[in-house]
Amino acid sequence: MSDLLLLDSPSLLSKLRTRTAISLITTNNHFGMLSTHILALAALLGLATSAPTLESRGRKLQYLGINEAGPEFGTALPGLYNKDYIWPDLSTIQGKIDSGFNVFRINIQQERLTPGGLTSGFEKYYLANLTQTINAITSKGAYAMIQPHNYGRFYGQIMTSTSDFGTWWRNVAAVYKNNDKVIYDTNNEFWGMSGRVVADMNQAAINGIRAAGAKQTIHVEGNAWTGAWTWTTAKGTDGLTNAETMGNLTDTENKLIYQMHQYLDTDGSGTSPNCISATIGSERLVAATNWLRANKKKGFLGEFAGGVNGQCQAAVKDMLNYMVKNSDVWTGAAWWSAGPWWGNYMFSLEPKDGPAYSTYTPILKAFA
What pLDDT shows up at residue 59? 87
- Exactly one of 72, 189, 221, 350 is catalytic; which is it? 189
pLDDT average, residue stretch 81-91: 98
Q: What is the pLDDT of residues 171-193, one digit of tens each?
A: 999 999 999 999 999 999 999 99
Contact 238, 210 (CB under 8 A): no
Catalytic-residue membership of 72: no
Q: How confident is the model at residue 34 (pLDDT cuts 50, 70, 90)?
A: very low
Q: How confident is the model at residue 80 (pLDDT cuts 50, 70, 90)?
A: very high
Neighbours of 253 (CB within 10 A): 13
Percent of the chain's residues with pLDDT above 90? 84
Average pLDDT, the chain: 89
- Exactly one of 68, 221, 303, 350 is catalytic; which is it? 303
What pLDDT shows up at residue 53? 52
E-strand spans in the chain? Answer: 63-68, 103-108, 143-148, 153-154, 157-158, 182-185, 218-221, 256-261, 299-304, 330-338
pLDDT average, residue stretch 24-38: 37
Catalytic-residue membership of 350: no
What pLDDT shows up at residue 226? 99
Write the CB contacts of 224 (distance below 8 Å, at least 6 apart in sequence): 190, 191, 230, 234, 235, 236, 241, 242
Instruction: Say whether pLDDT at 143 is over 90.
Output: yes
Q: What is the pLDDT of residues 284-313, one digit of tens each?
A: 999 999 999 999 999 999 999 999 999 999
What pLDDT shows up at residue 31? 33
Q: How confident is the model at residue 132 (pLDDT cuts 50, 70, 90)?
A: very high
Instruction: Say whether pLDDT at 54 is over 70.
Output: no
Neighbours of 163 (CB within 10 A): 11
| Domain ranges within the chain, ordered by starting residue | 2-365
Give the CATH superfamily of 2-365: Glycosidases (3.20.20.80)
What pLDDT shows up at residue 51? 54
User: Which helix (H) or strand (E) is 172 found in, with range?
Assistant: helix 162-176
Instruction: Say whether pLDDT at 48 is over 60.
Output: no
Instruction: Say whether pLDDT at 55 is over 70.
Output: no
